[in-house]
Copies of this chain bind each other. A is one copy, B any other.
Amino acid sequence: MTTIDVNAVKSYLLKLQDSICAALEQEEKKQKFREDTWDRPEGGGGRSRMLADGEVFEQAGVNFSHVHGKNLPPSASAHRPELAGRSFQALGVSLVIHPLNPYVPTSHCNVRFFSAEKPGADPVWWFGGGFDLTPYYGFEEDAAHWHRTAKAACDAFGPDNYARFKKWCDEYFFIKHRNEPRGIGGLFFDDFSEKSFDHAFGFMRSVGDHFVPAYLPIVQKRKGAPHGERERDFQLYRRGRYVEFNLVYDRGTLFGLQSGGRTESILMSLPPLVKWRYDWTPPPGSPEAELYEIFLKPRDWLATENK
């Protein structure tokens, strides 16, 4: 009999939401998070927090949700057909941050727990999550810091976790119709129930706890970088890719929309202002071209420091 402790997961996730919001508010003098709690008619609900129109964060959404239902939605049972028809509960914290300054990357983090249940049987449970970074203007030292912190989140939980989940992240956050990664990656894991509930829960906590140390130093370093219309324009254009990925491919978004989640909370990942421009490519040799050539390629960002 597997012992799972949903209350412990929930308690951790609520505290994680608090601590991430507090850390972001430390960097943001102009705006605070606004909180909305909501109920899901089919069961469960959430606590959404949104900060808008900040001087550092143009938009930052940090959501907690705990939803349950009588039948797994199709997006969750597609790759595990044996679970179709089970009841489920899903808990998670999910965040997307769209900074104002184009030199500060957009970031995303999610940690989640899923349990599929039926009377008389052990629950089938797993953890998932990760974090990934989407720069507009790339800096190798920032990419190295991001991945170094991602690796630190993994190292105590298995020697190959970083390599496995870094690769999975590169594969997952890939925009097929553009043949482009969404950004410089990070970590992505799913269906994680290795060793024991305690071990797997510990790993999820470690990923959640490493988000702020991975992201905040980059925000602090770049938020004052001078920029003008050109950089802003490129940021808005590249945000279009973020929208394309989230609405066409992202499993979490599709799961949320299909399972009757709160649309406004799910779609707070979409940027506040976006541009599309037909058939545009950056001028060769420009800093914008460098993003595509140097940063939007799967790469071992720790290659030099690990030799």
Q: Which residues of A contact B (CB under 8 A)?
A: 36, 50, 52, 59, 61, 176-178, 236, 240, 243-244, 247-248, 257, 263-264, 266-268, 270-279
Other contacts beyond A178-B263, A240-B270, A273-B274: 20, CB < 8 A: A36-B279, A52-B277, A59-B278, A176-B257, A177-B257, A177-B267, A243-B274, A244-B247, A244-B267, A247-B247, A247-B248, A248-B248, A264-B278, A267-B276, A268-B278, A270-B276, A272-B277, A273-B275, A274-B274, A274-B276
Given A272-B275, A278-B268 in contact, is the A243-B247 Cβ separation under 8 Å? yes
Contact at B276–A271, with CB atoms within 8 Å?
A: yes
A252 shortest CB reach to chain B, Å? 14
Chain B residues with CB below 8 A from A244, complex form: 247, 267
A42 shortest CB reach to chain B, Å? 14
In the complex, what distance in Å separates the CA atom of A36 from the CA atom of B278? 11
Q: Which 5 pairs of residues, A with B, have the shortest CB-CB distance?
A: A247-B247, A270-B276, A177-B257, A264-B279, A274-B274
A267 shortest CB reach to chain B, Å? 7
A180 shortest CB reach to chain B, Å? 10
In the complex, what distance in Å separates the CA atom of A247 from the CA atom of B107? 22
A86 shortest CB reach to chain B, Å? 24
| 19 A-B pairs whose Cβ atoms sit less than 8 Å apart in the complex | A50-B278, A52-B277, A59-B278, A61-B278, A177-B263, A178-B263, A240-B270, A243-B243, A243-B247, A244-B247, A244-B267, A248-B257, A264-B279, A270-B276, A272-B276, A272-B277, A273-B274, A273-B275, A274-B274
Chain B residues with CB below 8 A from A271, complex form: 276
Chain B residues with CB below 8 A from A36, complex form: 279
A63 shortest CB reach to chain B, Å? 11
A263 shortest CB reach to chain B, Å? 5
Chain B residues with CB below 8 A from A50, complex form: 278-279
The residue on B at minimum CB distance from A276 is B270
